[in-house]
Amino acid sequence: MDFGKAGWLSSIIEEAVAAHPPAPSPVPPGDRSGYARARAYLRQTLRVSGLLHGPVLEDRPAEAGAEPAAETRLFLSLVRTLARMALDIASLTGAPAGPRPEQLFLLFAVFSGELEVAEALDARLQAKHEVPRRLHGKVESALARRALSLAGDPVYGLVLHNGALYLDAQLFGRQAIAYFARGRLGRRAAQRRSGLVAHQKALLVQVLAGLSAADHMPSYASRRAILRQVEGLMLPESIASGLRGAVKKSFEHRLDVRARVAGVRSPDTRHFLLEQALLASLVDGQRSSGERRFIRELAEGLGVPEAELHRLELETVGFYASHRSVVDVFTAPATASLLGEDFILRTQAVLEKNFQALMQEARETGDLAVLLAKAVRGQKLTADERRRMREQLIDVAKVIPALAIFAAPGGLLLLLAVAKVLHINLLPSAFQALSATTLVPVETAPEGTPVPGPRAQALAGPQDEAPLEAPAQSRRCG
């Protein structure tokens, strides 16, 4: 099967129909109507399949030819999951035997937003006429266009994409339940369900946009990325225009998330919004204090108790621990591009807080230039001048390699290791004077253990980061 070429969807559907067991798994209790059993099955399957958190790569034997890209494999896994789910729903609702492949094409047409194609397929099926291949081709083309939106998502775009896919998969299942229960397509009802999902997507966007501004307002590049993802959802213009305005406002003023979600009544929607926000806060491997605060406020607004929040958090972490490769498909290059911008913002904050110390170091280094010039010309230096030149040379030697080491990956740990080996204070003298005014007490030692003196903070970092402490100094180098 060659994705993108004519017949790729037919191959998946034929394979799913041929491999479908007589009874779906997992099977809900049998004392309910087929409609109720199918709805219970849908809710359970969306979790068991992992679609709540995002599509999962399937373990399939390698096919001849070039291996498709990971994002393509993810999309094909999603299509296979939806095909199996629709066949299970047909069995649970007691739908009579029929041309299942053509019925799946109809459901994928609805999934792709091609309602006119779906109606044409339904008319052919009701009249028991053969379905022309050109209708298959239209469905395949529409579905392939959806796969293109997978590539190149930024970190929050990944979660927005996964959240939208979950809602679409849920919609696909509900459309399948209605179709197999009634035996035909109801266009108005299908449009109504699609409209409800569009509103849910818009609410998800606003929650994730608020989360992206939990610590600081997004940069211009981040705002553009988020707005591009909103456009990629292809929502009806009546919803998209208002959503764009709401998202832009959230970039200027922090979102009162509790008020925004106060009207959510469905327990499923409440859990969905909270779980997607948890995914967004965890997908890059770290969570800030602002994001934790936002999550707590969101849970309060949704009426989710703290114990339930902890359970959902553990479930989310467990999923991505087991399916990290799914996250890496999209976040590795995107995180690298966003990391540079965040690093610059943090560095700028540090430099602004230590501006006076930097200016003092520059003034001291200016004295060093004069002393070095005298030494080069062969002029004799006094003992005091030699002492000052030596101290300032040490300061310069500290500043230059420190900047180089900080710029390297893992440089902070390397810098601290060097400081412990050399037993020197790596802070230049101007920074030592600054840090002496912000002493912090050392942790309490066990009784009877010698307690070292207080240790000074080094460069003042952002509020969410622990300050870098100068290493204990037993002797001065030089």
Query: Which of 277, 78, 245, 302 has its CA nearest to residue 169?
Result: 78
Query: Which of 181, 199, 61, 184 has its CA nearest to residue 122?
Result: 184
Instruction: Compute the half-sphere exposure of residue 129: CA atoms within 13 Å on the CB side of its CA.
Output: 10
pLDDT at 291: 86
Same domain, 150 and 238: yes
Residue 227 maps to a domain: yes
Same domain, 101 and 231: yes
Residue 170 maps to a domain: yes
Sign of the torsion formed by the C-alpha atoms of 218, 240, 249 and 162:
negative
pLDDT at 315: 78
Same domain, 269 and 371: no
pLDDT at 58: 53
pTM, two decimals, is 0.61
State which of 302, 332, 362 marks the end of a domain: 332
Residue 205 maps to a domain: yes
Q: What are the φ/ψ torsions at residue 127 (nearest 5 degrees)?
A: -85, 0
* Digit-coded pLDDT (tens) for 429-442: 544 554 444 444 44
Same domain, 277 and 385: no
Residue 231 maps to a domain: yes
Q: How far apart are CA 116 and CA 187, in angstroms?
A: 9
Q: Collect all residues with Cβ–Cβ distance below 8 Å to 359 and sequence separation of at least 6.
A: none
Residue 329 has pLDDT above 90, yes or no: no
Same domain, 217 and 87: yes
- Angstrom CA distances, 270 to 51, 161, 264, 266, stand at 17, 18, 7, 6
Rg (CA), the chain: 30
Residue 325 has pLDDT above 70, yes or no: no
Place of tokens 């003092």: 360
Q: Collect all residues with Cβ–Cβ distance below 8 Å to 194 and sequence separation of at least 6.
A: 113, 171
- pLDDT band at 126; cut points 50, 70, 90: very high
Residue 120 maps to a domain: yes
Residue 119 has pLDDT above 90, yes or no: yes
- pLDDT band at 353; cut points 50, 70, 90: low
Query: Above pLDDT 90, what percent of the chain?
Result: 19
**Tally of CB atoms within 10 A around 63:** 10
Most confident of 114-128, 234-248, 387-401, 460-474: 114-128
Same domain, 325 and 411: no
- pLDDT band at 17; cut points 50, 70, 90: very high
Residue 160 maps to a domain: yes
Query: Which of 283, 101, 302, 120 has its CA nearest to residue 207?
Result: 302
| SS percent in the chain: helix, strand, coil, step 5 | 65, 0, 30
Q: How far apart are CA 449 and CA 379, in angstroms?
A: 53
* Digit-coded pLDDT (tens) for 365-407: 556 666 666 665 667 778 888 777 667 656 655 544 444 434 4
pLDDT at 340: 40
Most confident of 77-91, 158-172, 455-469: 77-91
Indicate the SS3 state at residue 324.
helix
Residue 149 has pLDDT above 60, yes or no: no
Yes or no: say if 356 and 460 are a contact pair by the CB < 8 Å rule.
no
pLDDT at 444: 42
Q: How far apart are CA 442 and CA 452, in angstroms?
A: 8
Residue 350 has pLDDT above 70, yes or no: no
Yes or no: say if 95 and 125 are a contact pair by the CB < 8 Å rule.
no
Higher pLDDT: 240 or 462? It is: 240
Residue 177 has pLDDT above 90, yes or no: yes
pLDDT at 275: 86
Indicate the SS3 state at residue 455.
strand
Mean local confidence (pLDDT), 2-24:
83
State which of 271, 299, 332 marks the end of a domain: 332
Residue 413 has pLDDT above 50, yes or no: no
Same domain, 233 and 379: no
Same domain, 311 and 358: no
Q: How far apart are CA 279 and CA 157, in angstroms?
A: 11
Same domain, 408 and 320: no
Same domain, 323 and 381: no
Higher pLDDT: 25 or 330? It is: 25
Residue 270 has pLDDT above 70, yes or no: yes
Q: Collect all residues with Cβ–Cβ distance below 8 Å to 374 and sequence separation of at least 6.
A: 381, 385
Yes or no: say if 144 and 4 are a contact pair by the CB < 8 Å rule.
yes
Q: How far apart are CA 242 and CA 97, in angstroms?
A: 45
Query: Above pLDDT 70, what percent of the chain?
Result: 57
Quote the tokens at residue 117.
Answer: 């194609």
Domain count, the chain: 2
pLDDT at 411: 40
Same domain, 297 and 190: yes
Indicate the SS3 state at residue 272.
helix
Residue 345 maps to a domain: no
Most confident of 72-86, 141-155, 168-182, 268-282: 168-182
Mean local confidence (pLDDT), 194-205:
90
Yes or no: say if 8 and 141 are a contact pair by the CB < 8 Å rule.
no
Domain residues for 91?
A: 8-332
Higher pLDDT: 326 or 304? It is: 304
Q: What are the φ/ψ torsions at residue 455 (nearest 5 degrees)?
A: -110, 135
Q: How far apart are CA 193 and CA 189, in angstroms?
A: 6
Residue 447 maps to a domain: no
Average pLDDT, the chain: 71
Same domain, 385 and 327: no
- DSSP assignments along 255-280, one per residue: --HHHHTTT---HHHHHHHHHHHHHH
Q: How far apart are CA 289 and CA 464, in angstroms?
A: 7
- pLDDT band at 334; cut points 50, 70, 90: very low
Burial class (CB in 10 A: 0-12, 13-18, 19+), 121: buried
Higher pLDDT: 475 or 115? It is: 115
pLDDT at 2: 62
Q: How far apart are CA 157 and CA 155, in angstroms?
A: 5
Of 93-102, 112-121, 277-286, 457-466, the poorest mean pLDDT is in 457-466
State which of 301, 332, 363 marks the end of a domain: 332
* Digit-coded pLDDT (tens) for 26-56: 555 655 778 888 988 888 888 766 565 555 5
